[in-house]
Structure 1
């Protein structure tokens, strides 16, 4: 998921550099959404592993 967010971020930068403002904004929004989903899933994983008694990696 993080890799997809990074790829979409790079696509947004390329689109912005080429002057496609609407496309860049849309791709950046999708990348931002993917990034937030990744952060939430990561935090859930850390909490669940802590509740099971394992140390988070």
Structure 2
């Protein structure tokens, strides 16, 4: 998912470079949403692993 966020960020940067404001804005918004979803899932995973403890 982080890869998708980075992909949309690159699309947004390229679109902004060429002057496509609408595409750049939409791609940046998608990248931001995907990044925050990734961040939330990462924190949930860390908490779940800490609660469960280390398994051998």
Taking structure 2 as the reference length, what is the TM-score of the superposition? Answer: 0.94
Equivalent residues, number: 54
CA deviations 1:1-57 (Å, max 9, x no partner) are 000000000000000000000110000000000000000000000000000012xxx
Task: Give the unaligned 5+ runs of structure 2.
Answer: none
* CA–CA separation in structure 2 for the residues paired with 1:4 and 1:21: 20
Q: Which residue of 2 aligns with 1:37?
A: 37
1:22 aligns with 2:26: no
